[in-house]
A and B are shown apart, each in its own frame.
Chain A
Amino acid sequence: MITAISWRNIWRNPTRSLVIIIAVALGLTAGIFSVALMNGMTEQKMRTAIENQTSHIQLHHPEFSVNKDIKLHLNNKAEIEKILEDNPAIKGFSSRTVAGGMLASSRGSVGVQLNGINPEKEKQVTAIWQNMIEGDYFEGDSRKPILISQKTAEKLEVKLRSKLVVTLQDSEGEIVGAAFRVSGIFKTTSTAFDETQVFIPKKALQDLLQLPAEVHEIALVLNDLEQVPIIKEELQKELGESVKIEDWKEVLPELAYLSDATVQTNVLFLAIILVALAFGILNTMLMSVFERVKEIGVLMAVGMNKLRIFSMIVIETVFLSVSGSLIGVLVGIALIKWTSQEGISLSMFAEGLASWGVSDVIYPTLSAGFYIILMFMVLITALLASIYPARKALSLNPAEALHGLNN
């Protein structure tokens, strides 16, 4: 009966209750959608980074990531590749030879990281081949092809089939150079990546570096991202200490930080919204209690104990909050579902977003787990917001309350 009384009490003043329910609903819809938008951006950045840069797991010489010395290549490449091929959890891998160098045209030069790749193997781990905007992905008959980004092409003022000169230091410390012809121009959503990465056939780079058949990096992609920690551990056991195995979070720690920071920011953001809503709910419930002083006095007089009166106020608050939250969550879900299909175009901020590694079309996303956490937070907020009005109700003296007096 107390639950029924609480529910009906909410609708004694429908305007007031609807105002707070709508306020809670709007607050949560806005909060949920903002969080989903933020998540969409972060996920997109992470996905882009994983697809184009880090893959799921990378293998290096233990000291390579510290000083990038080209002599620090993987010593037991054949054995490693055999192990990777035999592991069914691994979807694909690509062995790369990498080196820093200068890329020059007749109009300018830029410092880049040269990635010597096997085009077909690389397709299994990165999405560069899907980001070609001009030319092709090592499919032409050019003898020394090079893939550069649109940004680099603009900087060097070159176009498709222009000649570029690569200069770098070989394994003997000698400065060597070679001419390549632009066979394809790509564009990813990350300006930072585009400005620094170029791709050439692995054999060409190995020849330049005088490192026949040597590779510095093996990038691999798993069938399931969630399995990264398990496979990493498995591989570490099989390959021993001679190979440094890093997952995508270790390769780009800022990505892991971004992921964690996004979660924390989202929770903080929602907490601020909920605190603001809590004061609205508290105000509504206080008004409701003060309006019913006499009625509460009667309930006390006829034998309703303090626990039941406390429960009645708490349940009313929870009903009020949860009603608003459910509406807010449902509208939020609908809004996310609608926008996640078409995406939200932020083309006017395209430049800024690209420098952050995000495309100008954002696809809001939110996990089911988040809604559970959110409803839990709403419940806690409602309970906290109900304590003061409930205590006010309990502090009433029945004899005075019966005459409408509130001490």
Chain B
Amino acid sequence: MSIIQIKGLHKIYNPKKVPVHALNGIDLEITEGEFTAIVGPSGSGKSTLLNMIGGLDSPTEGTVIINGVDVSTLSPKKLIDFRLKNIGFVFQDYSLLPVLTARENVEFIMQLQGRKKEEFKKRAEELLREVGLGDRMDNRPSNLSGGQQQRVAVARALASKPKFILADEPTANLDSVSTSDLLEMMQVLNKEENMTFIFSTHDQRVIDKARRVVSIVDGKVAEDIQVEQEMAQ
């Protein structure tokens, strides 16, 4: 089942002054349960594409339909609500709130969703145990390693029960052990809970684990490889 449909996506920055064509007509469809890596050199447009999919930026032309909703037509207010309910974000530098503990960082998203206290407390604990941080729940980010912080970020992304998780270079700041642990954990979530993951990455270790690799060059899809299909063939 398709959860993201991108059609004729263009993004031009500074259209009136010095136009920069970041995306030049992207067509892409992502189905539920995918483990997709979006790759490409710096400036190729992969971050812009991720921003569009995440509803963080609006396209100059084209549509981004998520779960049947054209996000480019949503008002900023509705877009925030849409993101809260449908998209989980994982950032390169973890981006946890430094003043909150791991538990509170995860609970916070569910509080924003207006869930009941008992419910979000229970789920936060479950998620943190699931990502292997059952014993570090009450630590603030400054007392966690990079890998542990990224695990909290994944738990936070999962907390809102999103349709998919967008991860912007999630392993860029991690050592090889943490990267391996994180990828393994994401793969488990992908397989066992059918959670859709979309990464932008330069990291070959992530690319190797991806089941689909979309290569972006000069704002266009240069290559779209279904790894498992190829392997199957």
Contacts and interface: CB of A to CB of B under 8 A. Distances in A.
B144 interface: no
Contact of B81 (A4, A5, A294, A305): A305
Given A1-B104, A306-B77, A397-B57, 9 more contacts: A1-B108, A12-B98, A12-B99, A301-B83, A302-B109, A303-B80, A303-B81, A305-B77, A306-B80
A401 B172 CA distance: 19
B164 interface: no
26 contacts: A1-B104, A1-B107, A1-B108, A4-B104, A5-B97, A5-B100, A12-B98, A12-B99, A294-B95, A295-B97, A300-B80, A302-B84, A302-B89, A302-B156, A303-B80, A303-B81, A303-B84, A303-B85, A304-B112, A305-B112, A306-B80, A397-B57, A398-B57, A399-B51, A402-B56, A402-B95
Contacts of A302: 83-84, 89, 109, 112, 156, 160
B111 interface: yes
Contacts of A402: 56, 91, 95
Nearest to A300: B80
Interface in A272-325: 294-295, 298-306, 308
A48 to B, nearest CB: 56
A8 interface: yes
Given A9-B99, A295-B97, A301 B109 contact: no
Interface size bucket, B side?
Answer: 20 to 34
Interface size bucket, A side?
Answer: 20 to 34
A9 B99 CA distance: 7
Contact of A303 (B57, B76, B112): B112
Nearest to A309: B80
A301 B77 contact: no
B95 A295 contact: yes
Interface string B104-116: 1001110111000
A12 B113 CA distance: 26
Contacts of A304: 80, 112
B54 interface: yes
Interface of A: 1, 4-5, 8-9, 12, 294-295, 298-306, 308, 397-399, 402
Contacts of B109: 302-303
Nearest to A9: B99
A303 B89 CA distance: 10
Interface string B143-159: 00000000000001000
Enumerate the 4 nearest inter-chain pairs by beta-carbon distance, A residue then B residue, closest first.
A303-B84, A8-B99, A399-B57, A399-B56
A47 to B, nearest CB: 53
Query: Which of B99, B104, B109 has most chain A Cβ within 10 Å?
Result: B99
Contacts of B77: 305-306
Contacts of B98: 12, 295
A298 B84 contact: no
Interface of B: 51, 54, 56-57, 76-77, 80-81, 83-85, 89, 91, 95, 97-100, 104, 107-109, 111-113, 156, 160
A5 B96 CA distance: 12
Nearest to B99: A8
Contacts of A295: 95, 97-98
A398 B111 CA distance: 20
B27 to A, nearest CB: 21
B196 to A, nearest CB: 17
A4 B107 CA distance: 13
A146 to B, nearest CB: 78
A398 B51 CA distance: 9
Contacts of A306: 76-77, 80
Contacts of B57: 397-399
A308 B91 CA distance: 22
Nearest to B96: A298
Nearest to B86: A303
A399 B51 CA distance: 6
Nearest to A298: B95
Nearest to A400: B57
Contacts of A1: 104, 107-108, 111
Contact of B112 (A308, A397, A398): A308
Contacts of B91: 298, 402
A4 to B, nearest CB: 8
Nearest to A308: B112
Contacts of A12: 98-99
Contacts of B56: 301, 398-399, 402
A302 B73 CA distance: 19
A398 B97 CA distance: 16
Query: Which of A305, A306, A397, A402 has most chain B Cβ within 10 Å?
Result: A402
B158 to A, nearest CB: 12
A399 B56 CA distance: 5
A12 B109 CA distance: 21
Query: Which of A294, A304, A397 has most chain B Cβ within 10 Å?
Result: A304
A310 to B, nearest CB: 13
A308 B80 CA distance: 12
A302 B109 CA distance: 7
A8 to B, nearest CB: 4
Given A1-B104, A1-B107, A402-B91, A301 B54 contact: yes
Nearest to B88: A302
A8 B105 CA distance: 13
Contacts of B89: 298, 301-302
